[in-house]
Amino acid sequence: MDYVTWDTAQILDLDWWAIDLNGCVGHFASGCAPIPKGMRISIQKQLDVFFYEQVPIIADPFESPDWEIYSGFSLAENIWPFKSLDERRTAFFRSYAFMGARGMYSYTADPKRNYCRVIIPSTLLYVQNIPKEFQQYLSTFKFDVRFSESPIISFDQIPPSPLKS
């Protein structure tokens, strides 16, 4: 079957996308955390290509305030293979800032069973501005929150998909 299974999600760090109440696109790095049921591998691969290779940079994003407090992560801890705090920050923020520069809020999974907002875009990408073939699919993964007001999103808030899983 083409659907991402729970067993697969638990062993893979998957990037996935959803929208909020305003139609803003959000990027989520699962870190082996829960993902919405009904995700299709074939479409996720197409979204990877689209968001990573085709969406242009539209503006510089900025770091979400207090993300370390919400997430429980600390870049000051020297568990990273980089010597300086600046090197650790650059390595950590690279992929999140990549999505933020393309207009997406970017979240990471944390040990507290939440997705924590890491990056806030300065210019937003809305679902109506992406290809039609992806709009309908992403609309099935719609959070009942506004990313602009949500520094954390509980795993319990992951939108249920009406698609068969």
Q: Is residue 60 assigned to a domain?
A: yes
Residues 62-76 pLDDT 10s: 888 877 666 666 666
Residue 20: domain span? 6-157
pTM score: 0.81
Is there a domain that residue 165 lies in?
Answer: no
More confident of the two residues 63 and 21? 21
Alpha-carbon distances of 165 from 5, 9, 11, 145, rounded to whole Å: 8, 13, 18, 23
Q: State the pLDDT at residue 43.
A: 77
Structural domains in the chain (count):
1
**For residue 163, is it within any domain?**
no
- pLDDT for residue 32: 57
Residue 162 falls inside a structural domain: no
pLDDT > 90? residue 99: yes
Is residue 1 in a domain? Answer: no
Q: What is the pLDDT of residues 113-138, one digit of tens each?
A: 788 899 999 999 999 999 998 998 88
Higher pLDDT, 154 or 162: 154
Residue 149 is assigned to a structural domain of this protein: yes
pLDDT at site 163:
46
Judge whether 146 lies within some domain. Answer: yes
Residue with token string 């697969």: 8
The pLDDT assigned to 6 comes to 46
Question: Is 49 within a domain?
Answer: yes
Residue 7's H or E segment, with its range, is: helix 6-11
pLDDT confidence of residue 80:
57
List residues bridging with 16 in a β-sheet: 28
pLDDT of residue 16: 84
